[in-house]
Amino acid sequence: MIDTGKVDVIGVRVDAVDYGAAVTRIIDAAIEQRPYRVSALAVHGVMTGVDDPEHLTRLNAFDLITPDGQPVRWAMNWLHGTALSDRVYGPDLTLAVCRAAVEHDLGVYFHGSTPDTLEHLVRRLPTLVPGIRVVGTSPSTFGTSTSLELDELAATIRDTGAAICFVGLGCPRQEVFVYENAERLSMPCLAVGAAFDFHAGLAEEPPAWVQRAGLQWAQRLMHDPRRLWRRYLILNPRYVGRVVSQRIGRYRSPSEQPPPHIGFS
């Protein structure tokens, strides 16, 4: 296993880990019933921290941030010599954690997305992970919740006997939820985004060669250009420019600021 600690990628501290180390850390926290904040970040996720000092504070408080995108892994290798041979991709990490949960007889919970997606996910997941115990689900409200409402949601999740909570609210909403609610839940909370749609069979993952080449963004852009053009055609070059600046010693990381309570659910 590879687990050599966090490294700075344009201000966001990302963990140099492989799947084995990431899963071990998550399962250990689940067995010990302690809060553990996890997210898998690609370029867009990293840039949400770069562009928002309050959100940067959230991200850098996470216990585990994995390099979800190849360009993040490449930056870690180039800037810090981490020698990672693969990324730790959110959908694959989800399945790996679910398989380990089966081995340890741990129940899992899914929060976010829509009732239809969750229904498909619960029906299909046992074919991907035989023996999985999905002890509960709850869809997103697609809004904000009060502290009392979040307390009630946390109590509902805990009462199912869940040991791990997967969160799919989209970036950065899901990271806000995990940051604000992991302590309430006293369990690992994983922000895994598109994993819900992929494993529900409602979205198709790109071919392996596209993923290896770091071109998932291009396929997504072609499928939804009106919604995603700004994210990829503006954010990606900005990301590259900042990584190059960090490499030559001219990049100054943004200052962190205390984040306000938002209460996404």
User: Residue 125, class by beta-carbon neighbours within 10 Å (0-12 exposed, 13-18 middle, 19+ buried)?
Assistant: buried
Distances (CA, A) of 255 to 15, 46, 260: 20, 15, 16
Q: Which pTM was predicted?
A: 0.91
Reading the chain (265 residues) residue by residue, the pLDDT tens digits are 999 999 999 999 999 999 999 999 999 999 999 999 999 999 999 999 999 999 999 999 999 999 999 999 999 999 999 999 999 999 999 999 999 999 999 999 999 999 999 999 999 999 999 999 999 999 998 888 889 999 999 999 999 999 999 999 999 999 999 999 999 999 999 999 889 999 998 866 665 654 555 556 555 555 556 665 566 677 889 999 999 999 999 998 888 999 998 988 8
